[in-house]
Structure 1
């Protein structure tokens, strides 16, 4: 089905693995289009409750395919390239399902931006994350200048972007860029365990929580609070909320149906 991706679904958890090992999982146009198609299918599949995005053990994703960019380097083509990847990462960020990046090895440039678009990042102790574009006379064009400061603050983001120096997993954990660091051989097990935990929770409340948090970061506090109240009201008429409150009162395990 895909030439540069491996897709697996186990129960309610889908795993999307970048598989372009000969090019260190670098992002070219073909891989971008496959990711767009894959995540479109995931978004429309209600049986998928959580998504894991991963790469190889040594390289999560080395970034953009520089050779492809160099073939047609112009202001217009660079703008088009940036917008195409921005839209892909927006698509990932806007998925109704929570998305976990399981990062092992290098996540650089567009690979780091891919991880930034995910809701959670779990790293192996071998992970190195960075935005080194400054070292070739550019800067992150796939959302890195916008998402990174929103996650870790402007000062630290400027240090990472303006120096181009990668950080290791423990440094990423210390600044809140990743939520957990584990041994390389335990990375996927850790991601699957966390995904399994999320998959058991009510789908509608999960989707609404993600949507309100993401949109709330883009508006002022007053507008965010209005959005929160409106979505909270919408959940009040769902079967899952009624079931959850009744199960709490009856001291039993709730049976969530996603309705």
Structure 2
């Protein structure tokens, strides 16, 4: 079985499961390459409208597999590329965080559009603890997701963030029992998939672009996107 398991869900939803439960789903170079390949494949597919990302077993993702990546010649850049491609992926991604999301696993969670979590979920950055620095945007994206204080506490002290704290800060949107987590994530992704897929993708990409700008630049980007939407003859959907 693949270390990244792909399952077709209902109504245009696809479920991507990090599938190395005995290693807490630690990322290997092969897994990272699979994520890149699946992002490219799903972007080309008209059938896939939203993706759920989760982990098998008790953990979401323990970060990089240090047995592989501690070697001097290890292809570390491939993991950063996988995280970047997931963050730039054209379809909405719901992260179902079933356990610990550590370092590279935290960066995968940050690359998702919406997170829901089990009560057991823990978010942690251990780059400093292992004598490393992030090359995948941790110092950029984590402060935007959880605020300056908590981000620096996590990055500099390695302190973990509980699911309850993540919910309070808005990093996750819901806490669901482990038994119901995947079903809840698939249901949420299904509601997203029921929207106009081209418009949903364009709006996601607009949100991503606006996050990298000032308020004034963001308003200009939104206005330009609206003009393009109207130019293409896409009427507003007024159905309830």
TM range (shorter): over 0.9
Question: How many Å apart are 1:238 and its aligned residue?
Answer: 4.2
The partner residue of 1:95 within 82, 89, 94 is 89
Number of aligned pairs?
239
Instruction: Name the CA distance, whole Å, in 2 between partners of 1:59 and 1:122.
Output: 14
Secondary structure in 2 matching 1:92:
helix
Q: Pick from 234, 239, 242 the counterpart of residue 235 of structure 2.
A: 242
In 2, Cα distance between equivalents of 1:99 and 1:223: 25
**Alpha carbons of 1:243 and 1:152: their partners in 2 closer, same or farther (altered >3 Å)?**
closer
Question: What is aligned with 1:213?
Answer: 207
Query: Contact between 2:24 and 2:57, CA under 8 Å: does it hold in 1?
Result: no
Q: Is the 8 A contact 1:24 1:62 kept in 2?
A: yes
TM-score when scaled to structure 2? 0.93
1:140 equivalent to 2:134? Answer yes
| In 2: Cα distance, 1:194 partner to 1:233 partner | 29
2 CA distance for matches of 1:160 and 1:139? 13
User: How far 1:166 sits from its partner (Å)?
Assistant: 1.4
For the pair 1:34 / 2:34, whether they are aligned, the reply is yes
1:170-181 matches, within 5 Å, as: 170-181=164-175
Q: Distance between the aligned counterparts of 1:95 and 1:55, measured in 2? A: 19
RMSD, aligned CA = 1.8
TM-score after normalising by structure 1: 0.86
Q: 1:243 to 1:230 in 2, by over 3 A?
A: closer
Query: By how many angstroms is 1:102 displaced?
Result: 0.3
Q: Aligned equivalents of 2:39 and 2:90: distance in 1?
A: 10
- Which residue matches 1:158? 152
Cα distance between partner residues in 1 of 2:191 and 2:56: 24
Contact 2:116 2:185 in 1 (8 A): yes
The 2-side partners of 1:158 and 1:85 are apart by 23
CA distance in 1, matches of 2:90, 2:24: 29
2:33 and 2:78 in contact (8 A); partners too: no
Quick check: 1:204–1:235 contact (8 Å CA) kept in 2?
A: no
Question: What residue in structure 1 maps to residue 162 of structure 2?
Answer: 168
CA contact (8 A) 2:116 2:175 kept: yes
Deviation, 1:141, is 3.3
1:39-118 equivalences under 5 Å are 39-72=39-72, 81=76, 83-118=77-112
Deviation of 1:142 (Å)? 2.6
Greater relative contact order (Cα < 8 A, sep 6+): 2
Deviations, residues 64-106 of structure 1 (Å, cap 9, x unaligned): 1111122217xxx6xx62x432322121111111101100111
Secondary structure, aligned partner of 1:16: strand
C-alpha distance in structure 1 between counterparts of 2:130 and 2:83, whole Å: 22
| Secondary structure of 1:14's aligned partner | strand
> Which has the greater radius of gyration?
1
Mean alpha-carbon deviation: is it higher for 223-232 or for 131-140?
A: 131-140
Q: Where does the alignment leave 5 or more consecutive residues of structure 1 unmatched?
A: 255-259
Which consecutive unaligned segments of at least 5 residues does structure 2 have?
A: none
Runs of 4 or more, structure 1, over 6 Å off, are none
